Amino acid sequence: MSYQLRKDEKLGPGLRRICRKQIEFAIVIATGEKKSSDTPVHEMRKHVKKARAALRLVRKEIGAGLFREQDHRLRDVGRLTSEIRDAEVRLQTVHEFQGITQRRRRGAYPKLETMLMMELENFMAAFAEWQKQAVPMLERAYANVDCWPLDHFNCKQLRWAVQRSYKSARKALACAQASPTAENFHRFRTRAKRLWYELRILRLVNPVVLKNLSDDLDSVGSLLGRAHDLSFLGDRLRREERNSQWKREGHKLLAVIEVTQGDLQRGAAELAEHFFAERPRDFGNRVASWLEDWENDASPSIPEELFA
């Protein structure tokens, strides 16, 4: 429950705590003090993204200069491992296709898999010292959280921050629907995921409604995440499709990618259209009413297991 506001704390200190905790988790993963369920690179990057989402909620209140400094520092930590993570995603995507084709007794992609495995190993060797660079950067970001001037941060400011994120994601969805390119859907996914993190932070404000909203947005993000992974792999295959060692496998997989990617994007757009049907101001008004009730100790009484 570290990634949500608590009833016994003010908003400003609460958001400082949330961001600080995510940076702390990232440091623990980067130093190897804690084993992760996924790869260390992926786990560390997840915590950095969650910290940046919390930071964005207070963007206006801490000022453009301080926000930019902190956000760029966290962004640069993620960039240290971007090549490794990209290679991991490509290999994992081929692994998934391998499992599907093998269950259907169709031809698999052993040459592609071998090539992508070697590529990942090369990136891991090239960036073997990423932890030594990441940890000091994360430690500086951790120390700077206490400098955020948030003692007077209030519910009204929080409402407007969430409403801005909702509006930004809604606008990106309209752009993706008007021009359904991989880039536009990825832009929408980035903004929708930012809003998803913010709704998770607000969870205790209205546990049942915000859980449902978070779950709906998570479903959209999962579909778009899968579509992005496919697009990412497809771009990589097209760059070297003349390679004779895996040309046939690449062409065969590209045909599957193009069909599947489109299906995923359309499915995500349908779900998202329902989620973002509400006008930004109306969504903001709902958030404001929840925050007002929560601030006045009138939030719903829900059993702990519903929002654990």
CATH number at residue 69: 1.20.120
| Amino acid identity at 219 | S
Task: Judge whether residue 11 has pLDDT over 90.
Answer: yes
Angle at 61 between CA 55 and CA 62, to 5 degrees: 65
How many angstroms from the chain centroid is the CA of residue 251? 30
Residues 6+ away with beta carbon under 8 Å from 41? 81, 84, 85, 88, 130
CA 23 – CA 55 distance, rounded (Å): 11
Compare 187 and 90 and report the one with higher pLDDT: 187
Strands (E), 62-162: none
Sign of CA dihedral 139, 141, 142, 147: positive
Task: Judge whether residue 134 has pLDDT over 50.
Answer: yes
CA 178 – CA 157 distance, rounded (Å): 32
Q: Within this chain, do residues 236 and 282 fall inside the same structural domain, yes or no? A: yes
Task: Please name the residue that has the structure tokens 């070697």.
Answer: 118
Q: Within this chain, do residues 147 and 158 fall inside the same structural domain, yes or no? A: no
Please classify residue 306 by burial: count the beta carbons closer than 10 Å to its beta carbon, then call 0-12 exposed, 13-18 middle and 19+ buried. exposed
In a domain, 253, yes or no: yes
The arithmetic mean of pLDDT across residues 134-163, rounded, is: 94
In a domain, 96, yes or no: no
DSSP-based three-state secondary structure for 107: coil
Among the listed residues 193, 201, 204, the one whose alpha carbon sits nearest the alpha carbon of residue 307: 204
Q: pLDDT value at position 102?
A: 54
What pTM value is reported for the model? Answer: 0.88
In a domain, 13, yes or no: yes
Among the listed residues 89, 77, 114, the one whose alpha carbon sits nearest the alpha carbon of residue 39: 89
In contact, 26 and 44? CB cutoff 8 Å: yes
Task: Judge whether residue 241 has pLDDT over 70.
Answer: no
Among the listed residues 257, 290, 166, 262, the one whose alpha carbon sits nearest the alpha carbon of residue 217: 166
Q: Compute, in degrees rounded to 10, the torsion defined by CA atoms 68, 74, 75, 79.
A: 150
**What tokens were used for 179?**
């021009």
Task: Judge whether residue 15 has pLDDT over 70.
Answer: yes
Q: pLDDT value at position 251?
A: 80
Q: pLDDT value at position 55?
A: 96
The arithmetic mean of pLDDT across residues 163-167, rounded, is: 97
Q: Within this chain, do residues 47 and 181 fall inside the same structural domain, yes or no? A: no
Q: Within this chain, do residues 2 and 147 fall inside the same structural domain, yes or no? A: yes
Q: Within this chain, do residues 77 and 164 fall inside the same structural domain, yes or no? A: no
Among the listed residues 266, 233, 226, the one whose alpha carbon sits nearest the alpha carbon of residue 250: 233
Task: Judge whether residue 299 has pLDDT over 60.
Answer: no
In a domain, 67, yes or no: yes
Q: How far is CA 85 from CA 73, 77, 88, 222, in A?
A: 18, 13, 5, 17
Q: Which of 33-47, 66-80, 120-134, 225-239 has the highest mean pLDDT?
A: 66-80
Q: pLDDT value at position 304?
A: 43
Q: Within this chain, do residues 306 and 158 fall inside the same structural domain, yes or no? A: yes
Domain that includes residue 49, residue range: 1-81+127-153
Compare 239 and 258 and report the one with higher pLDDT: 258
Q: At CB < 8 A and 24+ separation, what contacts does 120-128 make?
A: 120/84, 120/87, 120/88, 120/90, 120/91, 123/83, 123/84, 123/87, 124/84, 124/87, 126/83, 127/80, 127/81, 127/83, 127/84
Q: Within this chain, do residues 48 and 194 fall inside the same structural domain, yes or no? A: no
Task: Judge whether residue 300 has pLDDT over 70.
Answer: no
Tens digit of each residue's pLDDT (9 = 90 or more) over 20-76: 999 999 999 999 887 777 788 999 999 999 999 999 999 999 999 999 999 999 999
In a domain, 285, yes or no: yes
Q: Within this chain, do residues 290 and 195 fall inside the same structural domain, yes or no? A: yes
Q: Within this chain, do residues 281 and 307 fall inside the same structural domain, yes or no? A: yes
Number of Cβ within a 10 Å radius of residue 242: 7
In a domain, 114, yes or no: no
Q: Which of 112-126, 227-241, 255-269 has the highest mean pLDDT?
A: 255-269
Q: Within this chain, do residues 149 and 171 fall inside the same structural domain, yes or no? A: no
Structural domain tally of the chain?
A: 2
Residues 6+ away with beta carbon under 8 Å from 145? 16, 19, 20, 23, 70
**What tokens were used for 208?**
């049942």
Task: Judge whether residue 113 has pLDDT over 80.
Answer: yes
CA 102 – CA 89 distance, rounded (Å): 20
In a domain, 119, yes or no: no
The last residue of one of the domains, among 153, 169, 198, is 153
**What tokens were used for 240?**
């070297």
Q: Within this chain, do residues 134 and 170 fall inside the same structural domain, yes or no? A: no
Q: Within this chain, do residues 160 and 181 fall inside the same structural domain, yes or no? A: yes
In a domain, 113, yes or no: no
Task: Judge whether residue 151 has pLDDT over 50.
Answer: yes
